[in-house]
Amino acid sequence: MTLMSDDHIVLECRGVSHSFGDNKILYDINLRIIRGEIVALVGQTGSGKSTLLRAILGTHPPREGQIIVTRAGESTGRVVTSPGRDCGIVYQHYTLFPFLTAQENVMMGLMFDQTSIPSRLFRHRRWRKMRKKHMEESQALLEKLHLGHAMHLYPHEMSGGMRQRTAVAQALIMKPEILLLDEPFGALDEATREELQLVLLELYVENCQAKENGEPAPYTILIVTHELNEAIYVGDRVIGLSQYWDWHRTFEKCPGATVVYDQLAPVNLPDEEKNFEMFAKQRDEIRTAAFDPTVLQEREAFLKFWDRVEAGSGVGILKDVWRCEDEQCLLYPICSLVRDIRQVEKSKVASGDPDTLQAKLALMFSEKCELFDLAITPLWEDPAEVERIRQIAEKDCFWYPARRILSYLDKKAPNVREELAKLLSPIRDIVEQDANARQTPKS
């Protein structure tokens, strides 16, 4: 599998470990975040969440390993050893200048970044022109965060939620490659918290629209939260840090918290109501993986995010992130057909005349049949080859998209679905097995 050219890893942690003296905090953190994701980071108090954020920010570089932040359009990134413009942060206890309005608070970052005291004193005309531009950018961002009515208010005149949104705008106006949010809503009441969650979902929708237009997603966010419903609701991915894993097999004492949970989360839209029943299963799974000290499971038992993404299960910003280029794989011809069907599914043909859609899918299948007959059908006669193919079919990169496409064809082109099912008959039990059974993690 290879990452498609229009998608980029914006943040990568490679073997990151951190400690304070003999106090081991983080151990072997390996993490990659795709541009445009909103990733929720959860874990018990003391599991190293804030330490990891400070390491990513650059104020507390890790003792071991590397953290790399990559700008949009660039192929190589910056190894983080100190703070930089490419990474912003908003803390729970934020700081606003009390003598400045919301608009002035937000534009201060641009002023400090693009001007100096001498330039403001001695190049007054140029500075006045720049200030006007900064104020316009500040106003536009505040309006996006639903604070247009409050831009001339001072901090003491604003509610807690308004001040927190102003702090988020302060960070976003610098256009960081990734924005870190460290328990930003923890001190807010429930209603205000929900308002800010919706703001994040609106930014996520903007990311998806940018991707659809072939542009880099403007907002990549890593949010630390202790509230699991919030993590599942605002994130398209949940990562759990914990010291409760099977370290005792290798170490005499715990070497630190590590990533023990990494899974897709359902993508929610701002105008949708929260479905807490849908969250329940994942919430219980997160508790088991990252919060239960009695469960010392295998370290990788709940690390399924990349399996799902590579299998084509991602939605929102993660939709169509990966494509298979392993032409030597025995099942590559079928994967190629699956990919072609997915393209038809997204095209205008799919929403048009059903007969036209069925005809196009049937033609596509017939064109591939000769390739199937040459590449796959003869292998069914050799038990050893069948076993090799079954092992490949068990992999998520084949099983998930194949199962999804069979379900799609069952509704849109039953005849084609039946032909494909016949072709896959020796591995049909794998392709059609229960999804819930496959997703049950090892205990």
Q: pLDDT of 245-285, one tens digit each?
A: 999 888 989 999 999 999 999 888 888 777 777 788 899 99
Q: Domain boundary at 259, 285, 317, which?
A: 317
pLDDT of residue 327: 67
Looking at the chain, the number of H-run helices and the number of E-run strands are 16, 13
- What is the spatial distance between Cα 406 and Cα 202, in angstroms, rounded to a whole number? 33
pLDDT of residue 115: 75
Asked if residue 69 belongs to a domain, the reply is: yes
Same domain assignment for residues 25 and 70:
yes
Same domain assignment for residues 352 and 435:
yes
Nearest to 35, CA basis, from 4, 72, 1: 72
- What is the spatial distance between Cα 50 and Cα 71, in angstroms, rounded to a whole number? 23
pLDDT of residue 436: 47
Is the distance from CB of 10 to CB of 19 less than 8 angstroms? no
- What mean pLDDT is predicted for residues 216-225? 95
Same domain assignment for residues 354 and 241:
no
Report the phi/psi class of residue 231: left, alpha or beta, with left for phi > 0 and alpha for psi in -120 to 50. alpha
Same domain assignment for residues 410 and 306:
no
pLDDT of residue 206: 94
Asked if residue 269 belongs to a domain, the reply is: yes
Q: What CATH number should be reported for the domain holding residue 40?
A: 3.40.50.300
Same domain assignment for residues 405 and 295:
no
Same domain assignment for residues 60 and 206:
yes
Asked if residue 267 belongs to a domain, the reply is: yes
pLDDT of residue 1: 39
- What is the spatial distance between Cα 12 and Cα 312, in angstroms, rounded to a whole number? 21
pTM given for the model:
0.73
Mind listing the pLDDT tens digit for each residue in 406-421?
877 888 888 888 888 8
Domain that holds residue 38: 2-86+176-317
Mind listing the pLDDT tens digit for each residue in 14-52?
999 999 988 999 999 999 999 999 999 999 988 999 999
Which neighbouring-strand residues pair with 66? 14
Asked if residue 76 belongs to a domain, the reply is: yes
- What's the structural domain count of the chain? 2
Same domain assignment for residues 276 and 185:
yes
Q: Pick the residue with more confidence: 63 or 112?
A: 63
323 pLDDT more than 60: no
Same domain assignment for residues 222 and 367:
no
Average pLDDT, the chain: 84
pLDDT of residue 4: 41
pLDDT band at 393 (very low <50, low <70, confident <90, very high): confident
Asked if residue 170 belongs to a domain, the reply is: no
pLDDT of residue 397: 67
pLDDT of residue 341: 79
Asked if residue 296 belongs to a domain, the reply is: yes
Could you give the percent of the chain with pLDDT greater than 70? 90
Q: Domain boundary at 288, 317, 346, which?
A: 317
Mind listing the pLDDT tens digit for each residue in 347-367?
666 667 888 888 888 888 887
Q: Domain boundary at 264, 298, 317, which?
A: 317
